[in-house]
């Protein structure tokens, strides 16, 4: 798989995760469970492959990307297990982790677009 293809998969995974996160006024998911599962699987696959591709080329960015994904996933699990009340500091941390993950995702996609396919092979 080429780096640009992987970058497009990352963009698609992010868009799909936003679509799959739609809820009604009561907080129930509006999308089918299959779409939510597919979105999660594609996102996890993208995070793993992108991290492996960028590990030797940009280790700090890869660590930031994986860490932000892990922290965001942990906050998503916390939020799904116990509904958060307004004013709870976990909401602020959850929102900050979303922003950090979004910025690191953009950084990874830009790096993958700029990275030539030969550079990854030469670094191995």
Angstrom CA distances, 44 to 47, 60, 113, stand at 5, 19, 19
User: Per residue, what are the HEC states of 17-58?
Assistant: HHHHCCECCCCCECCCHHHHHHHHHHHHHHHHHHHHHHCCCC
Q: Is residue 96 part of a domain?
A: yes
Residue 89 has which token pair? Answer: 């500091």
Look at residue 107 in the predicted model and tell me its pLDDT. Answer: 93
Q: Is residue 123 part of a domain?
A: no
Q: Is residue 46 part of a domain?
A: yes
Q: Is residue 56 part of a domain?
A: yes
CA-based diameter of the chain, in Å?
52
- For 29-43, how does the pLDDT look when each residue is reduced to its tens digit (9 = 90+)? 888 889 989 999 999
Q: How many domains does the chain have?
A: 1
Q: Is residue 122 part of a domain?
A: no
Interatomic CA distance for residues 42 and 54, integer angstroms: 18
Q: Is residue 11 part of a domain?
A: yes
What is the residue-level pLDDT of the chain in tens, covering all 124 positions? 788 899 999 999 999 999 988 888 887 888 888 998 999 999 999 999 999 988 888 888 899 999 999 999 998 888 878 777 777 788 888 889 999 999 999 999 999 888 877 655 444 4
The one-character DSSP state at 87 is T
Q: Is residue 13 part of a domain?
A: yes
Strand, coil or helix: 2: coil
Provide the domain limits for residue 105.
Answer: 3-117
Q: What is the pTM of this model?
A: 0.81
Q: Is residue 124 part of a domain?
A: no
């Amino acid at each position: 798989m080429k780096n640009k293809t992987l970058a497009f998969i990352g963009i698609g995974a992010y868009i799909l995760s936003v679509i799959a996160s739609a809820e009604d006024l009561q907080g129930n998911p509006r999308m089918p469970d299959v779409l939510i599962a597919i979105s999660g699987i594609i996102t996890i696959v993208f995070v793993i492959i992108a991290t492996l591709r960028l590990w030797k080329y940009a280790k700090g960015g890869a660590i930031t990307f994986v860490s932000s994904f892990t922290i965001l996933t942990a906050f998503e699990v916390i939020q799904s297990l116990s509904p958060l009340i307004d004013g709870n500091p976990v909401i602020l941390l959850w929102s900050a982790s979303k922003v950090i993950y979004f910025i690191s995702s953009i950084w990874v996609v830009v790096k993958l677009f700029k990275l030539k396919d030969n550079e990854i092979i030469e670094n191995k």
